């Protein structure tokens, strides 16, 4: 080392001068970096500055190259200065970064704050189908006079749907046009009356039962749907007469449509009732004056009824001299049409929400 200093005095001089210059340059860089770090408006800009000074192409890489060219006597001094400067700047950087980070977090929190007072999106609530509404109302009215619900299968044995109800094999309602046959001995029930048979075979009178449900017939137009609903009523007891039937149905109609309505029986025929009747009530829309709904007759048809045919009771092992019964069967769609003024029976099965929402 000494030899080198002695034999190369000029170079020593040159390098010493250069060192002061380099140190001055280092001070300049530090001052500039301090200003740049302090003035950076956000973390992104701050990071860009960091790259400018400490990156591969940055000022400090350049200073390292300078150091490589320094003489061994100057290297430690310069190296020490560079390192200390770097440490100071890094400390400043970290301090700035955490300050900017918390500022940015604060603005984000303010911007993205949830407005808890804002009402949420409305959830639509389902509602009961008008057919269910009518079924439930009929059940509620008749349960007040002792009736309770029984359910039967929708695929019914031929015997239950027809034979046991005294419908002989050549009866027109068995015609293929009216009945959906599942196989030779099973049909989609064409009415709820087979539930009468199931009940008579399984239970001991006195009985008061209601059987609501789907029924099926090959028929489709404005007033007929291949799948519609009925509710069956049956009462079996000692000394049952037409007076009981009329009293029951008058009570029912008044509860369902209002007290000012009149009821009437028209003689009719059903194989499973004797005597049989069609049951009408004065039109609830026009109060019997005549309107489109009642086809200007003042009356609307509710369903069929009668006293249970003794043959049916005997099929079920009951002695008709001891037990009598009354039965009635109403079309639910028919009642819903009257109650809600619906024009087309097909609306009940179309699932059009504009229609269904009116019953919410």
Q: Does residue number 273 form part of the binding site for ligand PHE (CB under 6 A)?
A: yes
Segment lying near ligand PHE (by CB under 6 A), choices 76-84, 93-101, 315-323, 326-334? 326-334
**H/E stretch holding 181:** strand 181-183
* Cβ 300 vs Cβ 294: under 8 Å: yes
- Are 331 and 303 a contacting pair, CB within 8 Å? yes
Q: Which stretch binds ligand PHE (CB under 6 A): 32-40, 78-86, 96-104, 297-305?
A: 297-305
Residue-wise over 140-176: b if at least 16 C-beta within 10 A, else e? ebbeeeebeebebeeebbbebbbebbbbeeeeebbee
User: Does 329 contact ligand PHE by CB under 6 A?
Assistant: yes
Check if the beta carbon of residue 228 is closer than 8 Å to that of residue 331.
yes
Interface residue with ligand PHE, options 93, 160, 252, 328 (CB under 6 A): 328
Contact yes or no for 53/88 (Cβ under 8 A): no
Q: By beta-carbon distance, which residue lies closest to ligand PHE?
A: 329
Q: Which is nearer to ligand PHE, 228 or 257 (CB)?
A: 228
| 233: three-class secondary structure by DSSP | strand
Question: Which of 193, 248, 309, 324 is in the footprint of ligand PHE by CB under 6 A?
Answer: 193
Q: Is 270 in the site for ligand PHE (CB under 6 A)?
A: yes
Question: CB neighbours (10 Å) of residue 138?
Answer: 21
Q: Which two tokens stand for residue 275?
A: 């005597």
Q: Could you say which of 187, 200, 305, 347 contacts ligand PHE (CB under 6 A)?
A: 305
Q: Which is nearer to ligand PHE, 130 or 306 (CB)?
A: 306
**Cβ proximity to ligand PHE, 126 vs 267, nearer residue:** 267
Structural tokens at position 134: 């009518």
Parallel, antiparallel, or unpaired for β 207-216 and 148-149? parallel
In the complex, what is the shortest distance from the CB of residue 260 to ligand PHE, in angstroms, rounded to a whole number?
Answer: 26
Task: Please choose, out of 24-32, 34-42, 219-227, 303-311, the segment that lies near ligand PHE by the rule CB under 6 A.
Answer: 303-311
Which residue in this structure is represented by tokens 């007929």?
224
Q: Is 325 in the site for ligand PHE (CB under 6 A)?
A: no
216/154 Cα distance (integer angstroms): 9
Q: Min. distance of Cβ 257 from ligand PHE in angstroms? A: 20
Please identify which residue in 304, 313, 333, 338 interacts with ligand PHE, judged by CB under 6 A. Answer: 304
Nearest-approach distance from CB 210 to ligand PHE, in angstroms: 12
CB contact at 8 A, 309 and 189: no
Handedness of CA 301, 306, 308, 309 (dihedral sign): negative
- Considering the complex, state which of residue 71 and residue 275 has its C-beta at the smaller distance from ligand PHE: 275
Q: Which is nearer to ligand PHE, 82 or 253 (CB)?
A: 253
For residue 306, state whether it binds ligand PHE (rule: CB under 6 A).
yes
The β-bridge partners of 214 are 229
Stretch that binds ligand PHE, among 59-67, 238-246, 309-317, 322-330 (CB under 6 A): 322-330
Binding site for ligand PHE (CB under 6 A): 191, 193, 232, 270, 273, 303-306, 327-329
């Amino acid at each position: 080392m000494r030899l080198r200093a002695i034999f190369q005095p000029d170079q020593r001089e040159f390098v010493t001068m250069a060192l002061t210059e380099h140190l001055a340059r280092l001070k300049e860089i530090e001052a500039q970096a301090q200003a740049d770090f302090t003035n950076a408006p956000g973390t992104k800009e701050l990071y860009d500055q960091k790259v400018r000074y400490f990156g591969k192409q940055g000022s400090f890489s350049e200073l390292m190259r300078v150091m490589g060219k320094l003489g061994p006597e100057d290297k430690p001094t310069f190296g020490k200065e560079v390192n200390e400067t770097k440490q100071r700047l890094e400390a400043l950087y970290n301090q700035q970064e955490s300050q900017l980070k918390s500022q940015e977090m604060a603005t984000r929190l303010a911007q993205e704050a949830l407005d808890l007072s804002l009402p949420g999106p409305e959830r639509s609530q389902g509602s009961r189908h008008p057919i269910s509404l009518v079924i439930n109302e009929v059940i509620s009215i008749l349960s007040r006079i002792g009736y309770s619900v029984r359910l039967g299968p929708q695929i019914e044995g031929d015997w239950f749907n027809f034979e046991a109800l005294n419908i002989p094999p050549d009866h027109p309602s068995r015609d293929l046009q009216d009945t959906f046959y599942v196989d030779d001995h099973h049909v989609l029930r064409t009415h709820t009356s087979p539930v009468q048979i199931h009940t008579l075979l399984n239970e001991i009178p006195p009985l008061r039962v209601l059987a609501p449900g789907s029924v099926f017939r090959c028929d489709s137009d404005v007033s007929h749907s291949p799948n519609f609903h009925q509710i069956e009523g049956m009462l079996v007891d000692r000394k049952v007469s037409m007076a009981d039937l009329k009293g029951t149905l008058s009570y029912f109609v008044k509860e369902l449509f209002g007290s000012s309505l009149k009821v009437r029986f028209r003689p009719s025929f059903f194989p499973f009732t004797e005597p049989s009747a069609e049951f009408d009530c004065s039109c609830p829309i026009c109060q019997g004056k005549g309107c489109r709904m009642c086809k200007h007759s003042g009356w609307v048809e509710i369903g069929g009824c009668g006293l249970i045919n003794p043959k049916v009771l005997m099929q079920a092992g009951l002695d008709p001299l001891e037990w009598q019964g009354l039965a009635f069967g109403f079309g639910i769609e028919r009642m819903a049409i009257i109650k809600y003024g619906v024009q087309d029976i097909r609306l009940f099965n179309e699932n059009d929400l504009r229609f269904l929402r009116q019953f919410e």
